[in-house]
């Protein structure tokens, strides 16, 4: 099937059904329903972060608005209600972006970070709302050393970069150098200079993953305003930017172009994590070769659309066993922007088919995007923010994938030995009965740009056959694995398989 790129949208939107019918691995025409439109109709939505803040088993949604309001939608069996003001989150003030959940004090409750995004830069700061037992939030940034003054923050990552068991913080800043903070028992110290990861380029997207399989999280940065991108290799005692030597820097950009969002996923099911970069310009896809190198394959894979792409999220929306990709994008002059989103269906052969048109229901976002199974039915739903459009609003689209495909999935929640969500960057792999790899997922380290989820990883499955689940944890004693065999997906049709770090061991 020919990719329906932006030119095709203009001349042939009605050919979609016919083209799909002739494809060897045809895309499932997505069936989604927009949920709670009136609840989500408020204008100026920017950041999108999902987590179970009250530990009731449902994923809740935090949204930041241009007005300075931070909304928290509590999920009660699939119905979302804004309780932000009632639990102490702001209803007005400075514009906040880069919402991100992380358990900074190790009490088992996820706390919330927001970065300020207004001019002048020297009046900016970040906010940390400590989660007080799932009942209320208290702003504590100053007392724990995380105000991040004089920066315009776009994205934040709660990750354990030094494998000491505590989540540290990295902030990506559109203005002002990026910053790395080391967690010292619930208070933080700046270590970006000592670690050699000071980066003054205008960063708007950041993703952590272990690209070279050495047991330490590395950092990819998508940089704006004509700047090159970065891949900071974690050497244990510091960081080294290896993007130029690996062909990941994307030099020669125009001043108005640059990387925006990044997304990490194993799109070809080879067990290695690849990088997609949403770009002002032509999008990029770097296939991981498994030897510490990458090959740029966006054009060959059919995902090199050029325009104003903003954010991206991997997710198997049709449960066929292959990761698909949603990209928020926009067109139009400032003040009149409209969404021009992209949904790339994975054809299972190393390529993708773009299946949205301007008239598609899902063509709705221009900022943060996340795939999330908010209603526990086994199918990934879509959450997108719209901040540029004067129509405003943000959207939650329920995936109406039909049975039995809807139930043909497995969600895995990865926790540390104490049952806390602190293992961002851990790797989850599925194997069939013969020991062949089926798919891999990364426990999210942040959604790349204005999006983040502390949620189970989701696998679509080709069958209901039992699988083996293997989780790789990064520790100061090396990479340790926890393996669960003979997992019956049908036993987890409405709940996640929980795998804790306790009992994990080094591979033999």
Per-residue pLDDT 10s for the chain (508 aa) are: 333 344 333 333 333 333 333 333 566 579 999 999 999 999 889 999 999 999 999 999 999 998 899 999 999 999 999 999 999 999 998 888 889 999 999 999 999 999 877 666 776 788 999 999 999 999 999 999 998 777 777 899 999 999 999 999 999 888 878 999 999 999 999 998 788 888 889 999 999 999 999 999 999 999 999 999 999 999 999 999 999 999 999 999 999 999 999 999 999 999 999 999 999 999 999 999 999 999 999 999 999 999 999 999 999 999 999 999 999 999 998 888 899 999 999 999 999 999 999 999 999 999 999 999 999 999 999 999 998 876 778 999 999 999 899 999 999 999 999 999 999 999 999 999 999 999 999 999 998 899 999 999 999 999 999 999 999 999 999 999 999 999 999 999 999 999 999 977 666 4
Report how far residue 133's alpha carbon sits from residue 125's, in angstroms, rounded to the nearest whole number.
Answer: 25
How is residue 219 written in tokens?
């950092």
How is residue 489 written in tokens?
């997906």
Question: 3-state DSSP call for residue 327?
Answer: strand
Report how far residue 59's alpha carbon sits from residue 219's, in angstroms, rounded to the nearest whole number.
Answer: 27
- Contact (CB, 8 A) for 74 and 84: no
- Contact (CB, 8 A) for 30 and 355: yes
Quick one: CA dihedral 37, 39, 41, 46, positive or negative? Answer: negative
How is residue 460 written in tokens?
């679509």
- Answer left, alpha or beta for residue 311, where phi above 0 means left and psi between -120 and 50 means alpha: beta
3-state secondary structure 19-56: HHHCCCCCCCCCCEEECCCCCCCCCCEEEEEEECCCCC
**What's the half-sphere exposure (Cβ side, CA atoms, 13 Å) at 121?**
10
Question: 3-state DSSP call for residue 355?
Answer: coil
How is residue 139 written in tokens?
């702003």
**What's the half-sphere exposure (Cβ side, CA atoms, 13 Å) at 153?**
31
> Can you spell out the DSSP letters for 166-183?
S-EEEEEEEES--EEEEE
Q: Which residue has the tokens 């001349």?
A: 11
Give the pLDDT score at 2. Answer: 32
Question: 3-state DSSP call for residue 123?
Answer: helix
Give the pLDDT score at 151. Answer: 78
Question: 3-state DSSP call for residue 154?
Answer: strand
- Answer left, alpha or beta for residue 132, where phi above 0 means left and psi between -120 and 50 means alpha: beta
* Selection from 186, 136, 138 nearest residue 166 by Cα: 186
Torsion angle of C-alpha atoms 253, 254, 255, 259, degrees rounded to 10: -40
Question: 3-state DSSP call for residue 226?
Answer: coil
* Selection from 478, 483, 485 nearest residue 506 by Cα: 478
- Show Cβ contacts of residue 282 under 8 Å, excluding neighbours closer than 6 positions: 298, 304, 305, 306
Long-range contacts of 37-43 (CB under 8 A, 24+ apart): 37/393, 39/73, 39/80, 39/81, 39/82, 40/393, 40/394, 40/395, 40/396, 41/392, 41/393, 42/69, 42/71, 42/392, 42/393, 42/394, 43/390, 43/391, 43/392, 43/393
* Selection from 422, 502, 427 nearest residue 108 by Cα: 422
Report how far residue 206's alpha carbon sits from residue 220's, in angstroms, rounded to the nearest whole number.
Answer: 6
> Which H or E element spans position 72?
strand 70-76
Give the pLDDT score at 93. Answer: 86
> Can you spell out the DSSP letters for 480-498?
EEEEEEEE-GGGGSSSPEE
Give the pLDDT score at 96. Answer: 87
Angle, CA 408 vertex, CA 461 and CA 458 arms, to 5° = 65
Q: What is the largest CA-CA distance in the chain?
A: 61
- Contact (CB, 8 A) for 83 and 58: no
Q: Are strands 324-331 and 342-346 parallel, antiparallel or unpaired?
A: antiparallel
* Selection from 42, 103, 52 nearest residue 75 by Cα: 52
Q: Which domains, and CATH codes, for the chain? A: 6-399 (2.120.10.70), 409-500 (2.60.40)
Report how far residue 125's alpha carbon sits from residue 96's, in angstroms, rounded to the nearest whole number.
Answer: 10
Predicted model pTM:
0.93
Helices (H), 261-398: 298-301
Residue 349 burial (C-beta neighbours within 10 Å; 0-12, 13-18, 19+): exposed
- Give the CA distances from residue 335 to residues 76, 349, 388, in Å, rounded to whole numbers and listed in that order: 36, 40, 7
């Amino acid at each position: 099937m020919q990719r329906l790129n932006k030119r095709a949208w203009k001349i042939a939107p009605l050919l979609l059904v016919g083209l799909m019918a002739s494809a060897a691995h045809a895309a499932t025409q997505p069936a989604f329903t927009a949920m709670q439109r009136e609840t989500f109709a408020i204008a100026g939505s920017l950041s999108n972060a999902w987590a179970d803040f009250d530990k009731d088993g449902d994923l809740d949604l935090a949204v930041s608005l241009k007005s300075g309001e931070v909304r928290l939608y509590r999920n009660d069996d699939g119905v979302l209600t804004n309780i932000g003001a009632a639990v102490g989150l702001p209803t007005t003030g400075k514009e906040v972006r880069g919402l991100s959940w992380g358990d900074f004090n190790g009490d088992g409750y996820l706390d919330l970070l927001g970065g300020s995004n207004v001019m002048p830069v020297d009046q900016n700061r970040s906010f940390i709302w400590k989660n007080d037992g799932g009942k209320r939030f208290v702003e504590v940034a100053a007392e724990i050393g995380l105000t991040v003054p004089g920066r315009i923050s776009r994205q934040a990552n709660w990750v354990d970069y030094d494998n000491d068991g505590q989540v540290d913080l990295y902030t990506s800043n559109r203005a002002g150098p990026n910053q790395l903070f080391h967690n010292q028992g619930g208070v933080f110290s700046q270590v970006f200079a000592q670690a050699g990861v000071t980066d003054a380029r205008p960063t708007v997207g950041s993703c952590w993953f272990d690209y070279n399989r050495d047991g330490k999280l590395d950092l990819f940065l998508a940089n704006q305003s004509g700047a090159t991108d970065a891949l900071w290799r974690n050497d244990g005692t510091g960081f080294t930017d290896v993007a130029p030597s690996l062909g990941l820097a994307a030099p020669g950009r125009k001043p108005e172009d640059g990387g925006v969002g990044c997304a990490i996923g194993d799109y070809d099911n080879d067990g290695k994590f690849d990088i997609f970069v949403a770009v002002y310009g032509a999008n990029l896809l770097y296939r991981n070769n498994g030897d510490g190198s990458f090959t740029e394959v966006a054009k060959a894979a059919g995902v090199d659309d050029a325009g104003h792409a903003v954010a991206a999220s991997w997710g198997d929306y049709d449960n066929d066993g292959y990761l698909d990709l949603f990209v928020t994008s926009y067109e139009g002059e400032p003040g009149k922007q409209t969404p021009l989103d992209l949904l790339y269906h994975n054809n299972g052969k190393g390529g993708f088919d773009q299946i949205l048109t301007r008239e598609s229901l899902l063509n709705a976002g221009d900022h943060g995007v996340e795939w999330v199974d908010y209603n526990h039915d086994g199918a990934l739903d879509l959450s997108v923010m719209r901040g540029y459009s004067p129509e405003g609003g943000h959207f939650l689209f329920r995936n109406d994938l039909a049975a039995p495909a809807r139930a043909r999935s497995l969600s895995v929640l990865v926790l540390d030995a104490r049952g806390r969500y602190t293992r961002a960057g851990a790797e989850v792999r599925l194997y069939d009965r013969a020991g062949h790899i089926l798919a891999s997922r990364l426990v999210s380290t942040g959604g790349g740009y204005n999006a983040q989820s502390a949620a189970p990883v989701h696998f679509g499955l080709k069958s209901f056959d039992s699988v083996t689940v293997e989780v790789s944890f990064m520790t100061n004693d090396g990479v340790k694995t926890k393996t669960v065999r003979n997992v019956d997906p049908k036993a987890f049709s409405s709940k996640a398989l929980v795998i804790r770090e306790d009992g994990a061991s080094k591979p033999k």
